[in-house]
Amino acid sequence: MKIAVLPGDGIGPEIIAEAVKVLKALALPLEMETAPVGGAAYEAAGHPLPEATLRLAQQADAVLFGAVGDWKYDTLPRPLRPEQAILGLRQALGLFANFRPAICYPQLTHASSLKPELVAGLDILIIRELTGDIYFGQPRGRRRAPDGPFAGAEEAFDTMRYSRPEIERIARVAFEAARQRRRKVTSVDKANVLETSQLWKDVVAEVHRDYPDVELEHMYVDNAAMQLVKAPKKFDVLVTGNMFGDILSDEAAMLTGSIGMLPSASLNERGQGLYEPSHGSAPDIAGKGVANPLATILSAAMMLRFSLKQPEAAARIEAAVQTVLADGLRTADIASDGCTVVGTAAMGDAVVRAL
Amino acid sequence: MKIAVLPGDGIGPEIIAEAVKVLKALALPLEMETAPVGGAAYEAAGHPLPEATLRLAQQADAVLFGAVGDWKYDTLPRPLRPEQAILGLRQALGLFANFRPAICYPQLTHASSLKPELVAGLDILIIRELTGDIYFGQPRGRRRAPDGPFAGAEEAFDTMRYSRPEIERIARVAFEAARQRRRKVTSVDKANVLETSQLWKDVVAEVHRDYPDVELEHMYVDNAAMQLVKAPKKFDVLVTGNMFGDILSDEAAMLTGSIGMLPSASLNERGQGLYEPSHGSAPDIAGKGVANPLATILSAAMMLRFSLKQPEAAARIEAAVQTVLADGLRTADIASDGCTVVGTAAMGDAVVRAL
Ligand SMILES: CC(C)[C@H](C(=O)O)[C@@H](O)C(=O)O
Ligand SMILES: CC(C)[C@H](C(=O)O)[C@@H](O)C(=O)O
């Protein structure tokens, strides 16, 4: 089983080091190979996603990804910016199904912005389509406006697109996932305004006929943004397009108060996947040894379960993280009264001990 | 001064009746004319925005709008659905600047999902561009995918577009508004992915040169969705496009806990405006006399200030609403221990008495 390890920028290398430490401690036949990505790759090889890194990712069974991005690359032309690496990987590997759990860990309920009774026990799964929509839709660019009230003026444009098979496959992923959970899917769109959303809604409803045991609800994206704040526990699986999913998955992650703990998986049709923490590269705390490695460690657990078919090993890691939390260990981002604050490496070591 | 009064559907007629009551009590030379809109207009005239209603709105100095929409119209073809009326009015009147205050009323801090310390005293102004973006961008429709990995499959598509003059004018509105407030503008985009957003960001930065006394910050939309939950008080004026504004303004409104109290204004270049509550038509409680009319009454105050240049009258209404709240009167949606719960009409009467 081959894993491409892409640490990236900011706190990426630190948190990846701890996840690798935990994986090694499992003594499974895992082959891990590291390559640069993002700003680090731009510095090393002049491109955020060098040919060799992409090839490594394509040949691996799974990619373990840290984080990319730093203010210092903001002035680079867009194709050379760190984020292009993650977009390039998603597209090249066909990683269309993004799983973003929004879980409120019992020990971290206090860390949420929301009142404890609204988030205690929260467990939502956001499934975001990741290779279509306005993220990749052609045509896009700048031009003189060809028509409309500002014809002749400089304008920029992008194209939102979804095809029936793209919607079908992500809808199936959502309904299948719901069967393993509380059997409810909320499909989020803006069908009162967008043609793309109307097709989305129609196709999701059609696919639903194959899943009569799962409840389907349609919700407009503006309402979903509200309901997540008002009553997040009403959701089970939330499925949506790439753009709305970007916004709603971050909103949901933040309201759990547990964002430093949340893993994510992005899968393709062959079960190959990219696994990364839900949080970003946090350049402000990079190199200080204080970043929370648990989201990355839990991403490694997701990788073992989804792409490497090692559910027992995944469960061992998850149980070890629970033990460490129960023992009162916390990194600074999730610290509270009476807990023991530890650094990145000490947290990784503690998980290894608890395995 | 002529006002087009468009009550609409659901609780629309009830809440508009109270706003009209308050306006009449001011004894100003206001000419008010009522016309059907939304589902009510579809029933009466076969179209959600009949010719006569549109003409009335165009000839008036301001439009006082209730709410539109009801589940029972969900099966109508899109062009006949109630929401088309509001989109049609925005486009026909050129209402490009949408003002959506997100204020946490001191008496309602407890009603927020967020912890009181995060929302107490919250006062954000969201300025949403309202006539451009993917809401109105052509081309759009359904077709066989002309290219891409799903070429030949049925697909739907929409076009996100913004031209330089459209961005310039809304940026100016935002900077001017910030000068009346805490002098900070957060411009929200997705420039790491979208061409449209990159132009948005560039043009907002250019316009900023004329407002050196105002601080400008750029933020990605996913991060904005998070920061609104995490630390909403860090915002002053938030300016963004139509689609992102739809989502973020609703998220922000909900997290104040005061959504039943929040007015909105949509203005065109001539200062003509449409004024409506931030909340929807709430068909579930329609006709019961329990809806909160305060957001609509406060929208009427905004109308007096912005379009009718009657700032004293506006201030009188706002002060009256404060008095009524201070007296402990509440509609059911904002009720709390020790308050007197009243119905829609009683609340309107109380505001009139407090004028
Ligand atoms: C970095 C950016 C391109 C990316 C996205 O928008 O998809 C990020 O926000 C994410 O959610 O993984
Ligand atoms: C009804 C709908 C078309 C509308 C919008 O999306 O603009 C509404 O959500 C709003 O925010 O006023």
Pair (A218, A251) in one structural domain: yes
* Within a domain: A230: yes
Pair (B113, B236) in one structural domain: yes
Among protein residues, the one with the nearest Cα to ligand 2's atom 6 is B246
Say whether B349 counts as a known binding-site residue.
Answer: no
pLDDT in tens, A268-279: 999 999 999 999
Among protein residues, the one with the nearest Cα to ligand 2's atom 3 is B83
Segments forming the whole domain that contains residue A198: 99-127+164-259
Pair (A31, A58) in one structural domain: yes
Per the structure block, which two tokens stand in for A201?
A: 């809604």
Position A326 scores a pLDDT of: 94
Residues with CB under 6 A from ligand 2: A 192-193, 222; B 83, 86-87, 246
* Within a domain: A23: yes
Position B339 scores a pLDDT of: 94
Q: Considering only B74-83, B91-100, B160-169, B246-255, which range has the smallest mean pLDDT?
A: B74-83
* Within a domain: A192: yes
Q: Which of B194, B220, B222, B227 to mutate to test the pocket of ligand 1 (most atoms within 8 A of CB)?
A: B222
Say whether B55 counts as a known binding-site residue.
Answer: no
- State how far residue A305 is from chain B, nearest Cα, in angstroms: 28
**Confidence band of B161 (pLDDT split at 50, 70, 90):** very high
Position A62 scores a pLDDT of: 98
pLDDT in tens, B115-130: 999 999 999 999 999 9
Residues 6+ apart with CB under 8 A from B213: B179, B183
**Confidence band of A74 (pLDDT split at 50, 70, 90):** confident
Q: What are phi and psi of A71, to 5 degrees?
A: -55, -35
On the question of pLDDT at A329 being above 90, the answer is: yes
Q: Does A193 touch chain B (CB under 8 A)?
A: yes
Please give the Cα distance from A85 to A88 (Å, whole number).
5
pLDDT in tens, A137-149: 999 999 999 999 9
pLDDT in tens, B182-196: 999 999 999 999 999
B215-220 vs B184-189, strand pairing mode: parallel
**Confidence band of B274 (pLDDT split at 50, 70, 90):** very high
Question: Separation of B242 CA from ligand 2 center, angstroms?
Answer: 9
End of a domain among B221, B237, B258? B258
Pair (A122, A77) in one structural domain: no
Pair (B148, B253) in one structural domain: yes
Please give the Cα distance from B53 to B35 (Å, whole number).
6
In chain B, the number of structural domains is: 2
Pair (B17, B88) in one structural domain: yes
Subunit contact B83:A192, Cβ cutoff 8 A: yes
Pair (B213, B283) in one structural domain: no
Rounded mean pLDDT of B104-112?
A: 91
Pair (A104, A251) in one structural domain: yes
* Within a domain: B339: yes
Q: Does A230 touch chain B (CB under 8 A)?
A: yes
A2-8 vs A31-34, strand pairing mode: parallel
Position B24 scores a pLDDT of: 98
Q: What is the mean pLDDT of chain B?
A: 97
End of a domain among B205, B231, B258? B258
Q: Please tell me the number of the ligand nearest to residue B197's CA.
A: 1
- State how far residue B158 is from chain A, nearest Cα, in angstroms: 5
Subunit contact B196:A251, Cβ cutoff 8 A: no
Subunit contact B158:A229, Cβ cutoff 8 A: no
CA distances (Å), B241 to each of A186, B192, B251, in order? Answer: 25, 15, 15
A189 to chain B: closest CA residue: B247
Using an 8 Å CB-CB cutoff, list chain B residues near A226: 250-251, 253-254, 259
Say whether A236 counts as a known binding-site residue.
Answer: no
Task: Name which of A192, A195, A197 is nearest B142 (Cβ-Cβ).
Answer: A195
Assess contact for B28 and B82: CB atoms under 8 A: no
Question: Separation of A246 CA from ligand 1 center, angstroms?
Answer: 7
CA distances (Å), A223 to each of A60, A162, B243, in order? Answer: 40, 22, 13
pLDDT in tens, A205-242: 999 999 999 999 999 999 999 999 999 999 999 999 99
Assess contact for B178 and B187: CB atoms under 8 A: no
Please give the Cα distance from A220 to A222 (Å, whole number).
6
Pair (B306, B329) in one structural domain: yes
pLDDT in tens, A15-26: 999 999 999 999
From B42, B190, B236, B333, active-site residue:
B190
CA distances (Å), B13 to each of B36, B88, B213, B283, B315, in order? Answer: 10, 20, 44, 11, 24
Rounded mean pLDDT of B7-31?
A: 98
* Within a domain: B2: yes
**Confidence band of B336 (pLDDT split at 50, 70, 90):** confident
Pair (B272, B355) in one structural domain: yes
Q: What percent of chain B has pLDDT over 90?
A: 95
* Within a domain: A147: no
Q: Residue B349 catalytic? A: no
* Within a domain: B263: no
Angle value at C-alpha A229, between A226 and A233, nearest 5 degrees: 110
Q: Does A123 touch chain B (CB under 8 A)?
A: no
Return the exposure string of B96-128: e unless at least 16 CB atoms fall within 10 Å of the residue's CB, then b.
bbbbbbbbbbebbbebbbbeeebbeebebbbbb
B123-129 vs B97-103, strand pairing mode: antiparallel
Q: Considering only A123-132, B5-14, B75-84, which range has the smallest mean pLDDT?
A: B75-84
Rounded mean pLDDT of A51-62?
A: 98
| CA count, 13 A, side-chain hemisphere, A49 | 21
Q: What is the mean pLDDT of chain A?
A: 97
Task: Name which of A114, A161, A250 is nearest B155 (Cβ-Cβ).
Answer: A161
Q: Domain with B178 in it: what CATH number?
A: 3.40.718.10
A97-103 vs A263-267, strand pairing mode: antiparallel
Q: Which pTM does this prediction carry?
A: 0.97
On the question of pLDDT at B174 being above 90, the answer is: yes
Subunit contact A81:B192, Cβ cutoff 8 A: yes
pLDDT in tens, B71-88: 899 889 989 999 999 999
Picking from A182, A107, A257, A336, the residue whose alpha carbon sits closest to that of residue B113 is: A257
Pair (B218, B275) in one structural domain: no
Pair (A337, A323) in one structural domain: yes
* Within a domain: B109: yes
Subunit contact A156:B141, Cβ cutoff 8 A: no
**Confidence band of A158 (pLDDT split at 50, 70, 90):** very high
Q: Does A339 touch chain B (CB under 8 A)?
A: no
End of a domain among B258, B282, B306? B258
